[in-house]
Structure 1
């Protein structure tokens, strides 16, 4: 499979992705020193969302396959452990007894 990513488009994408949080940061400073609280709230939300978007893209670009496999294996271990605990807890909470409270002898 050939690489279909155009280097020029990738550069434009990453430049815009990195510059937008800086732009929102400038707007934040302007709104903060201008005491415009309504705009400050909007700019703060935009700054947080753009920052998390940038963080996610960088994490995907730099993270590689190791982090994905470790997250997947940790999730599977957790699920297996939870299933085992629920099976053991389910068996322990329902003892085999007859209505008189005496254990049944099953052969």
Structure 2
């Protein structure tokens, strides 16, 4: 078989194979998909609405914590948190990885899931409101709030990271210009004095 045929016969790598952190990628999607699945198909598992409510809230809490503390850092190199100062005011703190660009597959799936989740829960909230299912509406509003908080935090974190990168590049440009100017002055002085 010619070499070209061997390369053509190899299958395209899966998204998990292309990911730098496949386990984190799975958990990034697992809890949020499980929460939506449990919300939509809860009648298949139990008729107890309180149990369903508790399970969905727990899945949402697991999702919130996992995305905020683990998958954001591993998949896109970002992390955020909110601290309350002694005077009672809030301070948002953003952390970003200084070196390296995140894996394209990891980044695309991370951001897609981050944007899609609040939209799906908002749609489910509208449907619950139209059907006047007040218990379901409460669950969906909690889900929208939690998913939106993560989305907002990561949007601010990404904005902060881009601002820092732009500042770093600008500072490097100034530093390069100063060093270049000093070197050219020295070289000019060396050749000019002869």
TM-score by length of 1: 0.56
Task: Select 2:142's aligned residue among 39, 42, 45.
Answer: 45
Counterpart of 1:56 in structure 2 is 153
Counterpart of 2:111 in structure 1 is 14
Counterpart of 1:100 in structure 2 is none
* Larger relative contact order (CA 8 Å, sep ≥ 6): 2
Q: Which has more strand, going by share of residues?
A: 2
Q: Give me the whole-angstrom Cα distance separating, in 1, the residues matched to 2:107 and 2:130.
A: 35
The two structures, once aligned, show a CA RMSD in angstroms of: 2.2
Instruction: Work out whether 1:26 is the aligned partner of 2:26.
Output: no
Structure 2 unaligned segments of length 5 or more: list them. 1-97, 165-194
Report SS of the residue matched to 2:154.
Answer: helix
Cα deviation code 1:36-84 (max 9, x no counterpart): 00000010011011111100000000024879xxxxxxxxxxxxxxxxx
Cα deviation code 1:72-100 (max 9, x no counterpart): xxxxxxxxxxxxxxxxxxxxxxxxxxxxx
Cα 1:65–1:29, aligned 2, differ >3 Å: closer, same or farther? closer
Structure 1 unaligned segments of length 5 or more: list them. 68-107
Q: Give me the whole-angstrom Cα distance separating, in 2, the residues matched to 1:65 and 1:16.
A: 21
Counterpart of 2:133 in structure 1 is 36
Q: Give me the whole-angstrom Cα distance separating, in 1, the residues matched to 2:122 and 2:111.
A: 17
Report SS of the residue matched to 2:132.
Answer: coil
How many residues are paired up? Answer: 67
TM-score by length of 2: 0.32
